[in-house]
Amino acid sequence: VLSPLSSNLIREGHIEEGQSRPPASRMEALLSASRLKDYVDAHGGKRVLKRILIANNGMAATKAIMSMRQWAFLELGSQSELEFVVMASKDDLEANAEFIRLADAYVEVPPGKNTNNYANVNLIVQTAIKERVDAVWPGWGHASENPALPKALSEAGIVFMGPTAPVMHALGDKIASTILAQSSKVPCIPWNGDGIMAEIQSDGSIPEEPFKKACLQSYEEALECVRRIGYPVVLKASEGGGGKGIRKCTNDEELKVGWEQVTAEVVGSPIFMMQLCTGARHLEVQLVGDEYGQVVALIGRDCSTQRRFQKIFEEGPPTVADKDDFREAEKAAQRLAMSVGYRGAGTVEYLYKPENKGFYFLELNPRLQVEHPVTEGITGVNVPALQLQIGMGIPLERVPDIRRFYGIDPNGDSKIDFLEDKYIYPDRHVIAARITAENPDDAFRPTSGRIERVRFQSSPNCWGYFSIGHSGAIHEFADSQFGHLFASGPTREHARKALQLALKNILIVGEIRNPTEYLVELAETEEFKDNTIDTAWLDKLIAEKAVNVKFNVNDMVFYGACLKSFLHMQAQKEEIIDGMKRGHLPLESTLNLLQSFQVEIAYNSVKYNFQVLCTGPDTFCLTINDCDIEARFRRQPDGSLYVRAGDRVAQISGVEEPMAMRLRVEGRGTLTFPKVRDPSELRSDFNGKLVRYLHADGADIKEGEPFVELEAMKMIMSLRTTVAGTIHHTLAPGAIVGAGDLLATLTLADPSKVQMIKAFSGPFSLSNTGPEMSMSPQGSAADLLAMAGPSITEAISGVLCGYSAPRHLSGGGTSTVGIVQQIFSSIDEADGLSMSDALEECCKLIGTFLENERFFAGLVGGDETQTIKRFQGDPEDLLGKIMAHTNLSMAVGIITSILRSLSDGPVLEGEVAALPPCLLTQLEELSKFPGAGGYGPVKLLAAQLLTQMKKPLALRREEVHSMLIDTPRKDLPKVANAYDAERRMYFGLDLISSFFSDSDNSVRTKAAEVFILRTYRGYTISDMEIVDSKEVIDGTPGAVLHLQWSFSPPGVVGSHRKGYAIVVPSMEDLESLGKSWKMPATELTDVHILVAKVPGDKSAMKHGEVVKALASKTADLMSKIAGLLDEKKAQYVDVLLAHAGRSPSHLHFLKTHGWKEVETYRNMRATLPKLIELPRIEAKYNMTPLQHGRVFALDLGVSKADKKTEVIFARGSSHLVLTTD
């Protein structure tokens, strides 16, 4: 709270809170006092002001301390020459206000409204006396224009750094100053006090009678006055300012409401009315007077860019008026101030009519104004430091900054005639922008809340001041302005562009809204660039919503969905972790919300519904109307997110608010997505206090009519209804409300007139979308192959960790098993992608599975309920493992697919030496997993693969070859039905099919018979007949072998079906079957065509293309022999394609499908579809494959009867003895 040195001393017990920071030594204190006194004496001053109370907060206090410290360092060589004591309310302390940090000491004052603290004259005076200060700096707002403050301080012997009480009362009061101005023949706008004159009294005040005569005492008086001067008018409180206590009125109804609001905003202030001067500019002259009767005019400012009389942009010097004309306005202001002995900083405001070059007196503000840094930028005069020196009694003409302004020796003592001598006209233009906590999307309503950080990079022509630092806040009693940016340039246009760059580069993160993006667009309007605006210009733009931040709606909606998805995930995880800390495991339904959920974004009466799949710890797939966009997130230390979609990266941040979600996209702007609300509920849009309802409870109210007044940020604001109805109050006046709180309910007059929110329809795409940005939901393996291998691995790793599979991995009938096999698709030696690269990826995936499941595998056998108790890590780590374990069945499918791919690929091909060393260790661990708990398939395959790895393919082929030679034909059924793990591998169908092309006819024949025997192990086989007679062979050119057999389901008597198989050497021979094929004379049920040797490729991508081409040729054959098959009463044809060095392909053709291939059965074992009754199920259900393998099928079925009943069918076939070991 204090400066670092003061904080340390308090902790060590050397000083008490409220005391100043002591100098390092008595000598330093003496030197400091000496330097300051020497300066005062050298420049004709009367008193030393060292210890100063800042009777203000926010921007005013921050700027004052910074400016006076800067002066002390530059002029005296040390910032410690001055000591600053600040008043600090509890609200400002909790808001981490910057001015408290800058001060040497603070005094805590009561919280709440400023009448409790910064505007409390008695409190300020007592604090000044207690803290033994030399002077009080009032700033602007609060008590800065209250004559009681300088009067009380003068009586206490403390310098007030501003005008004397009588002068402040006369000129500071807008009514009195206007009377004095028209008495001095200064042109004034028609107002309720027209013609009232007053002589200036010796104490600088005016008589009470003319003053009261110029005040409006009631609404009725105001109504009578407006009949004379005419609408439009401005109703003003003389003690108001900064946009408070002022209302524009264009009719009697607005006048009545305006009267009530003005009197409520500035309680007890005199009220007056003036005609609204249309088409005018707001120009002002900066004055500073000393105690010797001199007044200097520090040029002036143009403050015509106003919203509800609140300045937005300020600039100087005023270029809209001629220099000579403006100089005359300066002189008039100087004479007015000199006539009353004005001391300190003040501002005379004029309305200027460009068409007739006329100036009209508006008011004199007897205080420093917010925009004074514009004057500093064009004159080089440090205004708060000038106030300090005036307070020390230094004459204006002896102040170095003033002398520099006039181009004379800064250390000289020559006289200056401030009315006649010419100053050096500035060669720079300065434009300022106020940074406020206001919402430009909602008529600039003030907002309050935390500010996490403000980032602004200054440059030689851009600078700024901020009253809020890191982790600060704007509380409900604070002024909405917390920053001020300034830009300069040799011309107005240069300054304008520099200001736009400064506004674009500022970053404000927190709960509040701010208008920086709006101001960038405002400065880009043609009227502002051409300098043709007037004081009503901005209000008109706001009413017409003519200025909007430009952005692509779909882009912002997408980033809003990304932010909402991220916030959803964070909230879900926090809730689950909180429950686990209390001993509760998450429900499966809760975990499902970490995998898949919906987010809704509403904008401009359109609702965008996104289905979101969380595909990894930092990846999402967002789908809307069958359009997919994949996004990767990276959370930054500052809480923002980098979102990557395709080749674009955006930095986003935002927050969920009670009534909306606010999104900021760096470099594009801020957008608010309102939550879909019930129109019968009238809720508050901001924090504040309910002042009053504008309609009685139960009264009828029109659409767009104000229904309540709230006080926020020291202003009274009305809220309007969006529909007509009967109002019902829910709160009492004086109630404190927050954003989103229910203020009233409406019984709708006509519910049919309520505007409906429409769902977004049509395709959804981002601007400059590349092909990779939006993928079809019918993505196939071919789509997948466009991704790099590591991306595939990441997606599969996400599934292993409990996340969803991306739609382009799981959609369009592409099974996860098939996708896993695509890891090997990137193998292309020409491109430097080797088998070892793919194997490394497999090891990573198996390692992920082990890391996730090792803990749960250890619980199998009785400790499954002790998950939380047995886990030794953090709850966050346990949540990750629980998520992964929830996906166990899919993870097992992935790992078994990897193990099969290894078995069918590098291990089958004898490339054991190429396997990574870690793989053997991983397989050994997997083989020791329990058979129960869902780990059985992984355990079994790992054990088999270990055996395969220990026996090279060449040796296995040699052993099988020997067995086929040595085994008599009568013993082949025993060999074929062997079920032990080792023999199952020796006589696996894939390996057996590789002998169909053996040069030994006996080996070919036995291999074919074993193949059929193993394929039909689920049936009772009889009458196996091998036909190799010359007559039959010659009848089917290209055939080398024919087999016939009878089969029936086990236990079924008298139901013999006929099977038939033909072995052909190549695809050319297969194609020749369409010309001449002599089938057996009997009727057939199943037909097998075994092609002994067909092309293949090591690259999965190229191999897939090969299989596709072979399938097309086979389909052509089937269309030619369909009649022959029908003649034989055949029902089913299996075509086996034996690829060299790869597992064989199986193509299935059914009569029920018109002898077309059933692609969903592709690569299933020949009899599997019938064994697991898929055709029977498909008769009743429309089936969507989820995952298919050689011996199992997982499908989603939708009933053909009611079109909605869904059933998941998981079926498989095994000839092994099932155990739980």
- Window from 354-368, 434-448, 522-536, 807-821 with minimum mean pLDDT: 807-821
Average pLDDT over residues 421-428: 95
CB neighbours of 1071 closer than 8 A, spacing ≥ 6?
1113, 1116, 1117
Average pLDDT over residues 761-783: 52
The β-bridge partners of 485 are 433, 464
Q: How far apart are the first and last CA of the chain?
A: 68
Average pLDDT over residues 1200-1210: 88
Q: What's the CA gap between 747 and 766, in Å, rounded?
A: 41
Amino acid at 656: E
Percent of the chain whose predicted confidence (pLDDT) is above 70: 88
Average pLDDT over residues 1183-1202: 83
What letters, b where the CB count within 10 A reaches 16 and e where it falls short, cover 1007-1034?
Answer: bbbbbbbbbbbbbebeebebeeeeebbe
φ, ψ for residue 307, nearest 5 deg: -125, 115
Average pLDDT over residues 347-351: 93
CB neighbours of 745 closer than 8 A, spacing ≥ 6?
680, 681, 682, 727, 728, 730
pLDDT at 300 over 60: yes
- Residues with a catalytic annotation lie at 367
pLDDT of residue 32: 58
243 sits in the region (left: phi over 0; alpha: psi -120 to 50; else beta) called left
Q: What is the pLDDT of residues 804-823, one digit of tens each?
A: 877 666 544 445 555 665 66
**Upstream peptide bond of 674 is cis (omega within 30 degrees of 0):** no
Q: What is the pLDDT of residues 701-733, one digit of tens each?
A: 998 899 999 887 667 888 888 889 999 999 999
Look at residues 384, 377, 380, 307 and name the one whose alpha carbon lies nearest to residue 344: 384
Contact yes or no for 1136/1089 (Cβ under 8 A): yes
Confidence class of residue 825 from pLDDT cuts 50, 70 and 90? low
- Give the C-alpha distances (Å, rounded to integers) separating 746 from 459, 679, 690, 720, 740: 53, 8, 18, 12, 16
| Residue 81: strand, helix, or coil | helix
CB neighbours of 157 closer than 8 A, spacing ≥ 6?
none
CB neighbours of 590 closer than 8 A, spacing ≥ 6?
572, 575, 576
Q: Collect contacts of 1183-1186 with beta carbons under 8 A, ≥24 apart.
A: 1183/1209, 1184/813, 1185/813, 1185/815, 1185/1160, 1186/815
CB neighbours of 698 closer than 8 A, spacing ≥ 6?
726, 727, 728
Strands of 1181-1188's sheet, edge to edge? 1181-1188, 1192-1199, 1206-1212
pLDDT of residue 383: 98
pLDDT at 785 over 50: no
Q: What is the pLDDT of residues 363-396, one digit of tens each?
A: 888 999 999 999 999 999 999 999 999 999 999 9
Q: What's the CA gap between 165 and 640, in Å, rounded?
A: 51
pLDDT at 633 over 80: yes
Q: What's the CA gap between 556 and 630, in Å, rounded?
A: 15
Look at residues 1085, 1083, 1093 and name the one whose alpha carbon lies nearest to residue 1136: 1093
pLDDT at 6 over 50: no
Torsion sign across C-alpha atoms 522, 639, 474, 449: positive
Confidence class of residue 830 from pLDDT cuts 50, 70 and 90? very low
Three-state SS annotation for 133-159: CCEEECCCCCCCCCCHHHHHHHHCCCE
| Per-chain mean pLDDT for the chain | 85
pLDDT of residue 787: 32
Confidence class of residue 824 from pLDDT cuts 50, 70 and 90? low
**Residue keyed to tokens 């085994």:** 967
Q: What's the CA gap between 1159 and 670, in Å, rounded?
A: 50
Q: What is the number of residues in the chain? A: 1221
Six token digits for residue 1102: 């190229």
pLDDT at 476 over 90: no
**Upstream peptide bond of 232 is cis (omega within 30 degrees of 0):** yes
Q: What's the CA gap between 487 and 429, in Å, rounded?
A: 8
- Window from 315-324, 874-883, 906-915, 1010-1019 with minimum mean pLDDT: 906-915
Average pLDDT over residues 228-240: 90
Q: What is the pLDDT of residues 62-121, one digit of tens each?
A: 999 999 999 999 999 998 899 999 999 999 999 999 999 999 999 999 999 899 999 999
Contact yes or no for 1214/1202 (Cβ under 8 A): no
Q: What's the CA gap between 33 and 366, in Å, rounded?
A: 31
Confidence class of residue 912 from pLDDT cuts 50, 70 and 90? low
φ, ψ for residue 1207, nearest 5 deg: -135, 135
- How deeply is 868 buried, as exposed, middle or buried, from its count of CB atoms within 10 A (0-12, 13-18, 19+)? middle
Which of the listed ranges 15-29, 199-213, 418-432, 921-935 does the model predict with the highest average pLDDT?
418-432
Q: Which residue has the higher pLDDT, 1145 or 780?
A: 1145
Q: Which residue has the higher pLDDT, 50 or 2?
A: 50
The β-bridge partners of 1045 are 1059
- This prediction's pTM: 0.65
**Residue keyed to tokens 């297969």:** 1070
Look at residues 18, 139, 72, 686 and name the one whose alpha carbon lies nearest to residue 467: 139
Q: What's the CA gap between 1007 and 993, in Å, rounded?
A: 7
Six token digits for residue 968: 């008599």
Alpha carbons within 13 A on the beta-carbon side of 209: 3
pLDDT at 350 over 70: yes
pLDDT of residue 989: 76
